[in-house]
C-alpha cells in the first residue's frame, strides 16, 4: 500500500509515526478474506436508522444483519414511521428493510451478537435480565424468524456478558459474570453453542482489578479468536488468568484450555486517571498470524512507552514473553473504540480527530492527518491511508464489522460520510 502524499514527503515525520513498523513486511493475504480493497467513502443509502441511544454490536447472519445496543426507536430509510424496538433488531442485508417479524423484547442493553451454528438463529449477550417477558439474564439464543427464545439453549449468567464468539459448536463467553448456567466461571467460559452446556474442561479464572479504587470488578471486555478456534485473545480489567500474571491482555490456547506464555510489558501502563484498563477493542487478521489493538486513555508521548489513544499491530506468537507492537499509530489524545482488520486496511473509529499524530497533545502535530471519527491505516506499516469519509464524533463508534459487502459502522451519532445515517451505516466494497 502506497504511503499517502502527506507522509511521503516527510521521512522524519513518517519515522516518528510508525516507530517499529516502517520496515515491517506486508502480511500474506487470505484468498477468501473479504474486502481485499479499501471500501468506498460513500455510504450506501439503504441502511435503517437508529433514532436514539447507541449501537454497540452488529453481526451478519446469512442474508440478515442483526443490530444490538441501547436504544428504543428505529425506522427504515425513506420512511418517517418510527418503530418501537428496544435494544435489538434485524434488517435485510440486501434491501436494508427492517424485518418487522423479528421483534424480541430485551429489557437491557445488547453488547454482543453472533451467528449461531444452526441456520436461522442468533446468540445475543448483554446486560438484560428478561427476554420476551421471561427471566433470561445475560445470554440468549433467538430465532431470526420471529425473535422467540430458542429454549433448547440455556446458559444464563449472573452478570453482564460483554462478548460472545462462536467457533464450530463452541461458544466463548466473556464479561463480568462469576456463574454461567449455575456453574462457577470467573469472567470467561466456554459452553456448547447448541445447548449451552458448560464445558467442564475449560475453567480459567480471570481475576484481579488493575485499579480497584476505580473499578474493583475484573472483566473480560473484548476478545477475538482465530478462525480455526485455536487461539483466543482477551482484554479487559484483570491482572491474572488461571493464576498467571497477565495484565489487561492474554492469549489463551483453546485447544489445550490453557494460558499461553504471551506477555508484554506495554500492557501494564496506566492510561487516564479514571480508567481501570485502556485497550478497548481487538481483532485478529484473517491470516490468523497477527492482531490489532485500539486504545483510549489520553495523550502520553511515545517516549513514555504508554500505548494510550493508539492503534497497534502485534504478532500472534503465543510463545512471546516480551511482546512489542510491530507498529504504532497515535491519535494525539483521542480515544479509539473499535477496529476491523482486512487485508487492505485496518479500520479504526472513535472520537478521534487525527491519525499519524505522536507528538502533539490535543492538537495537530507535524505529519498528522485529519481523520474525524473514523479512519484507516495500512496493515503492513501502520501509516494512515488516504481513505477519509468522516463521521460526527460523539463519544465514538463502538462497532466496526467487515463483511464481503462492506464495512458496517455502529455509533452514537447521525453523520457518516457527510450524510444522515443515524447510528448505523455501511461503506460498500
Check which CATH number belongs to the domain holding 389 and give it.
Answer: 2.130.10.10
C-alpha–C-alpha distance, residues 91 and 98, integer Å = 4
Q: How many helices (H) and strands (E) does the chain have?
A: 2, 37
Share of the chain above pLDDT 70, in %: 92
Nearest-angstrom CA–CA distance, 285 and 346? 9
Which of 193, 199, 189 minimizes the C-alpha distance to 223?
A: 189
Strand order across the 244-245 sheet: 206-207, 240-241, 244-245
**Mean pLDDT on 199-219:** 97
Would the pLDDT of 218 be above 70? Answer: yes
pLDDT in tens, 66-119: 999 999 999 999 999 999 999 999 999 999 999 999 999 999 999 999 999 999
- Percent helix, strand and coil across the chain, each to the nearest 5: 5, 35, 60
State the sign of the Cα–Cα–Cα–Cα dihedral 362, 368, 372, 377.
negative
Minimum mean pLDDT among 34-38, 289-293, 382-386, 391-395: which range? 34-38
336 falls within a domain: yes
Confidence (pLDDT) at 162: 98
Instruction: Measure the CA–CA gap between 206 and 326, rounded to whole angstroms.
Output: 27
32: in domain: no
Find out whether 114 and 86 touch, Cβ atoms under 8 Å: no
Residue 29 confidence class, pLDDT cut points 50, 70, 90: very low
pLDDT score recorded for residue 23 = 30
Pick the range with the lowest mean pLDDT from 13-17, 208-212, 220-224: 13-17
38, 402 contact by CB (below 8 A): no
**Residue 31 forms part of a structural domain:** no
C-alpha span between 428 and 156 (Å, rounded):
37
Q: Is the pLDDT of residue 314 over 50?
A: yes
pTM as predicted: 0.92
Residue 205 inside a domain? The answer is yes
pLDDT confidence band for 36 (50 / 70 / 90): very high
114-150 residue pLDDT tens: 999 999 999 999 999 999 999 999 999 999 999 999 9
DSSP H or E segment with residue 92:
strand 88-92
Report the pLDDT value the prediction gives residue 33, as an integer from 0 to 100: 52
Average pLDDT score, the chain: 93
Confidence at residue 15, expressed as pLDDT on a 0 to 100 scale: 36
43 lies in a domain? Answer: no
CB atoms within 10 A of CB 85: 22
Check residue 34 and give its pLDDT. Answer: 76
How are beta strands 188-192 and 231-235 bridged, if at all?
unpaired
* Percent of the chain clearing pLDDT 90 (strictly above): 91
Within 13 A of 94's CA, how many CA atoms are on the CB side?
2
By DSSP bridging, strand 170-175 and strand 188-192 are antiparallel
Grid cell 451454528 in the structure block, residue: 117
Is 329 among the domain residues?
Answer: yes
Strand ordering across the sheet containing 327-330? 279-284, 290-295, 310-315, 327-330
φ, ψ for residue 407 (rounded to 5)? -105, 115
* Domains of the chain: total: 1
Q: Is residue 169 part of a domain?
A: yes
Question: What confidence score (pLDDT) does residue 345 get?
Answer: 98
Average pLDDT over every residue of 304-315: 97
What pLDDT does 16 receive?
39
pLDDT of 12 above 50: no
Q: Are 67 and 54 in contact (CB under 8 A)?
A: no
Q: Compute how many other C-beta atoms are within 10 angstroms of the C-beta atom of residue 420.
A: 11
Instruction: Report the pLDDT value the prediction gives residue 294, as an integer from 0 to 100.
Output: 98
DSSP 401: E
Q: How far apart are CA 303 and CA 263, in angstroms?
A: 21
Contacts of 340 (CB under 8 A, 6+ apart): 283, 346, 347, 400, 401, 402, 407
Q: Which domain holds residue 377?
A: 5-22+54-428
- Residues 151-171 have a mean pLDDT of 98
Cα–Cα distance for residue pair 238/334, rounded to 1 Å: 23
Predicted confidence (pLDDT) per residue in 324-349, tens digit: 999 999 999 999 999 999 999 999 99
The span from the CA of 167 to the CA of 336, in Å, is: 27
Does the structure show a pLDDT above 50 at 32?
Answer: no
Please indicate, yes or no, if residue 171 is contained in any of the structural domains.
yes
* Residues in Cβ contact with 329 at an 8 Å cutoff, skipping those fewer than 6 apart: 17, 18, 310, 311, 312, 355, 356, 377, 382, 383, 384
User: Residue range 374-399: average pLDDT?
Assistant: 98
Distances (CA, A) of 146 to 90, 100, 132, 152: 10, 8, 11, 16
Q: What pLDDT was estimated at residue 368?
A: 98
Q: How confident is the model at residue 273 (pLDDT cuts 50, 70, 90)?
A: confident
Given this model, what pLDDT does residue 13 score? 38
Amino acid at each position: 500500500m502506497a504511503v499517502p502524499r502527506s507522509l511521503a514527503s516527510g521521512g522524519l515525520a513518517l519515522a516518528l509515526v510508525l516507530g517499529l513498523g516502517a520496515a515491517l513486511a506486508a502480511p500474506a493475504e487470505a484468498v477468501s478474506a473479504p474486502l481485499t480493497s479499501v471500501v468506498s467513502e460513500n455510504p450506501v443509502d439503504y441502511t435503517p436508522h437508529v433514532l436514539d441511544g447507541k449501537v454497540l454490536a452488529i453481526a451478519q447472519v446469512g442474508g440478515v444483519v442483526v443490530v444490538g445496543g441501547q436504544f428504543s426507536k428505529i425506522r427504515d430509510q425513506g420512511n418517517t414511521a418510527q418503530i418501537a424496538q428496544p435494544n435489538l433488531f434485524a434488517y435485510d442485508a440486501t434491501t436494508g428493510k427492517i424485518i418487522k417479524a423479528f421483534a424480541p423484547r430485551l429489557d437491557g442493553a445488547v453488547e454482543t451478537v453472533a451467528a449461531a451454528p444452526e441456520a436461522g438463529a442468533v446468540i445475543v449477550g448483554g446486560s438484560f435480565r428478561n427476554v420476551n417477558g421471561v427471566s433470561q439474564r445475560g445470554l440468549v439464543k433467538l430465532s431470526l424468524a420471529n425473535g422467540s427464545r430458542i429454549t433448547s439453549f440455556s446458559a444464563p449468567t449472573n452478570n453482564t456478558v460483554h462478548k460472545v464468539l462462536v467457533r464450530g459448536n463452541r461458544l466463548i463467553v466473556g464479561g463480568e459474570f462469576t456463574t454461567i448456567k449455575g456453574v462457577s466461571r470467573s469472567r470467561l467460559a466456554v459452553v456448547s453453542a447448541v445447548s449451552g452446556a458448560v464445558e467442564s474442561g475449560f475453567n480459567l479464572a480471570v481475576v484481579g482489578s488493575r485499579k480497584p479504587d476505580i473499578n474493583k470488578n475484573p472483566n473480560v471486555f473484548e476478545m477475538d479468536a482465530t478462525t480455526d478456534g485455536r487461539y483466543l485473545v482477551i482484554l479487559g480489567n484483570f491482572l491474572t488468568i488461571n493464576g498467571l500474571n497477565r495484565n489487561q491482555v492474554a492469549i489463551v490456547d483453546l485447544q489445550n484450555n490453557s494460558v499461553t506464555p504471551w506477555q508484554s510489558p506495554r500492557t501494564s501502563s496506566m492510561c487516564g486517571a479514571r480508567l481501570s484498563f485502556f485497550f478497548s477493542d481487538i481483532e485478529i487478521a484473517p491470516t490468523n498470524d497477527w492482531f490489532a489493538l485500539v486504545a483510549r486513555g489520553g495523550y502520553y508521548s511515545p517516549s513514555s512507552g504508554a500505548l494510550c489513544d493508539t492503534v497497534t499491530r502485534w504478532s500472534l506468537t503465543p510463545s512471546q514473553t516480551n511482546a512489542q507492537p510491530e507498529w504504532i499509530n497515535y491519535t494525539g489524545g483521542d480515544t479509539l473504540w473499535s477496529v476491523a482488520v482486512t487485508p487492505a486496511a485496518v479500520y479504526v473509529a472513535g472520537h478521534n480527530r487525527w491519525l499519524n499524530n505522536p507528538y502533539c497533545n490535543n492538537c495537530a502535530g507535524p505529519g498528522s492527518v485529519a481523520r474525524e471519527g473514523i479512519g484507516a491505516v495500512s496493515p503492513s506499516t501502520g501509516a494512515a491511508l488516504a481513505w477519509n469519509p468522516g463521521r460526527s464524533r460523539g463519544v465514538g463508534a463502538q462497532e466496526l464489522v467487515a463483511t464481503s459487502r462492506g464495512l458496517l459502522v455502529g455509533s452514537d451519532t447521525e453523520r457518516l460520510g457527510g450524510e444522515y445515517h443515524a447510528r448505523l451505516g455501511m461503506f460498500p466494497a
